[in-house]
Amino acid sequence: MASTSVRHHTMFIGGEDVDSGSAYEIRHPATDELVCTMAKGTVADADRAVASAREAFESGVWSGKSPAERQEIMQRIAARIGTDQDEFIAAEISCNGATVRQAAGFHVGMAGVHFDYFAQLAGSYEFERTIETDPVPTASTNTIRREPVGVCAAIVPWNFPLILGTWKIGPALAAGNSVVVKVDEKTPLSLLKLAHVAHEEGVPAGVFNLVSGDGPEVGARLASHPDVDKVAFTGSTAVGREIMRLASGTVKKVTLELGGKGPSIILDDADLDFAVDGVIFGCMLFSGQMCESGTRLLVPAELHDDIVARLVARVADLNVGDPNELATDLGPVISRRQRDRILAYIDGARAEGATIACGGGIPEGEEFQRGHWIAPTIITDITNDMPIAREEVFGPVLSVLSYSSLDEAVAIANDTEYGLSAGVWSRDTDRAAEVGRRLRAGTTWVNTWHAVDPRLPFGGYKQSGLGREIGLGALDEYTEAKHLHVDHTTDLGLATFALVLSTPRHG
């Protein structure tokens, strides 16, 4: 049961706080200190949440509201993310160790902007349109309706719970669906607060439910549940495959945003100072714990040593430390397990003959003996067949590879099972954009990284995912297309079925 010395949090189902018989301990990644406890949900809790969501959907308390009504309520929620920003930031930092600057700018700042975008989509989305058709063989009116799918399950990862949760909750609510959010057990607090805020601002009970629980049990139940109509998942490719398998039993709609191994290509004409800073930002932000991080750097062979020297010198300027301090650039990684996994990848690369140009272990200093820390690491003498270059490390680790021609650079960049992100650095943006067109990735940046806009789609090629989140078509993933055909023929002899049925013998 939960300790009485720290705050205990519960799930939110049907507009009510719901506890369970056991609890997770939430520990701060920087210090390993106990922050709070969280109810550990079960399959029964998932079933209760789905039943609540289904009842709310069928009742029409939300799905029956006009788009304008949903927009108004959602805009109030978006505004609360801004006014309650400090609470949301504290929730993110205490659970996942994000720095305060990053949490303000990305984790929470972007979440409010993106939720407001989905609110606006609720009012502007074309839920119904009439299609002009030929009057032959019969005159008719044909309407395309976009209707909510029903109950949507959102399975959210630990790294960006609020923003990635918003990408699923926002369009689901905008389209008129009910949602069941399954939070990661390490980072439940920001989405739990969002659930309460949504209820306070007018989202009816049962429309927004939040459960916790182990992924192989609660997450799997939501993915396979016969009363869940859509599942949206962000996480590893391995788990994404299992989500697809489980969802196939009821042929439900699926959106998957999975792993990545983003290639970052510096061209021979690049401004090296600018590119080096951009590459470090692309790889090291949030200690590399981002699926679309640029973790493979491809450099011209003749510039390799110069670029590596610049990278090492620049990384030495990074301030690694307390995520609550404004001066901090890099904080900890999420857990001891993740830290040890990253160290194993680094040790494996070293054993295969790679060179650790900087970092490669736990930073020096007494303050780093608690919590889960990895020094920003740059590794050279790598080939693209090594695990360090092919597998998602999810840490502050940059792998540097050389290329001798642009064709070789593109071939190396595309030689991966992933296709989430890529980037090109060059003074000639036209040339860089042409290289970008050859890269097999859902997002390709030129002279920047992590540039995500709610109006533009985000998702991956190959085993980096299925479908797209955000963007102009975000609500398409949360609606079903219905063709409504109204025939205006009144003369039985002119009706299309007269082609098969003979004229009646008796009037």
Q: What domains are defined for the chain? A: 45-258+460-483 (3.40.605.10), 263-446 (3.40.309.10)
For helices 67-83 and 85-96, the axis angle rounded to 10 degrees is 70
Q: Is the pTM of this model over 0.85?
A: yes
pLDDT at 3: 44
Rounded to an integer, what distance in angstroms lies between the CA atom of residue 218 and that of residue 339? 26
pLDDT at 391: 98
pLDDT at 4: 53
Query: In this predicted model, what pLDDT tens digit does every residue of 138-186 receive, in sequence order?
Result: 789 999 999 999 999 999 999 999 999 999 999 999 999 999 999 999 9
Query: Of 475, 159, 97, 425, which Cα lies nearest the Cα of 292?
Result: 159
User: Which DSSP letter does residue 203 get?
Assistant: P
Residues of the chain with pLDDT under 50: 1-3
Query: In this predicted model, what pLDDT tens digit does every residue of 58-91 receive, in sequence order?
Result: 999 999 999 999 999 999 999 999 999 999 999 9
Query: In this predicted model, what pLDDT tens digit does every residue of 390-408 receive, in sequence order?
Result: 999 999 999 999 999 999 9
Rounded to an integer, what distance in angstroms lies between the CA atom of residue 313 and that of residue 333? 22
Q: By three-state DSSP, how is residue 355 classified? A: strand
Catalytic annotation, residues: 257, 291
Cβ partners under 8 Å of residue 421, min gap 6:
260, 262, 292, 293, 294, 441, 442, 443, 444, 445, 449, 460
Query: Of 289, 464, 294, which Cα lies nearest the Cα of 394?
Result: 289
pLDDT at 2: 43
Other C-beta atoms within 10 Å of 201: how many?
Answer: 16
